[in-house]
A = this chain, B = another copy of it.
Amino acid sequence: MEKRVITLSREFGSGGRTIAHRVAEQLGYAYYDQELILKVAKESGLAEQIVEKYDEYATHKNSLLYALALSAGAGAGGTLSFVSKVQQAQAKIITDLADKGSCVIVGRGGDYVLRDREDALHVFIHADMQFRAQRVVSVYGDNGQKPEQRLRDKDERRKLYYRSFTMREWGDVHNYDIALDSGRLGLDACVEAIITLVKGE
């Protein structure tokens, strides 16, 4: 069956977002990531700022996030329902987007939401620490934090977010139709392999 929808999850600094962009461009598919969060914000009626900040940090319990959740109206014991509300709205939007037309969806547990769709291709991009550390500094600049620590922090947040949302393990090979090492293969080769699978079906 033709793969009309591509979900792509990626380790921070692996170049996954760039791969997703190129795949979308070459196939003429729509591309969603930040746009998705904004749409969540609108649909769920929550302030954009809160959802943006909250999103992938859902289970990272620090005071800022609690403050944000509280400011959104979640009282004592209400944080979970806030998370749940955001996640449900997001799952609905992902499903709607997939129904609407061919697209590439980056992150946000898209592989989980669309796990039973036969017209979806679920992709995971990873690379070793050295490749990602170099790439993070060259693409995003030096933020004063050690690149390795920055990668570990970001990956940890993605893991927590994914687990809270899906009850599955982020990066578990069984969750994806194709997983690629962008460090060893190069970004272009990853794009090509994905497109082969989309077109070859």
Q: Which residues of A contact B (CB under 8 A)?
A: 118, 124, 126, 128, 171-174, 176-181, 184-186, 188-189, 192-193, 196-197, 200-201
Contacts and interface: CB of A to CB of B under 8 A. Distances in A.
Nearest to A192: B200
A199 to B, nearest CB: 9
Nearest to A120: B184
Contacts of A179: 173, 176, 178-179
Contacts of A197: 185, 189, 192-193
Given A177-B184, A188-B200, 11 more contacts: A118-B184, A126-B173, A126-B174, A128-B174, A173-B173, A178-B185, A178-B193, A179-B179, A186-B201, A193-B193, A193-B196
Contact of A178 (B174, B180, B188): B180
Contacts of A124: 173
A178 to B, nearest CB: 6
A194 B177 CA distance: 13
Given A192-B196, A193-B197, A197-B193, A180 B181 contact: no
Contacts of A174: 126, 128, 181
Contacts of A201: 186, 189
A163 to B, nearest CB: 16
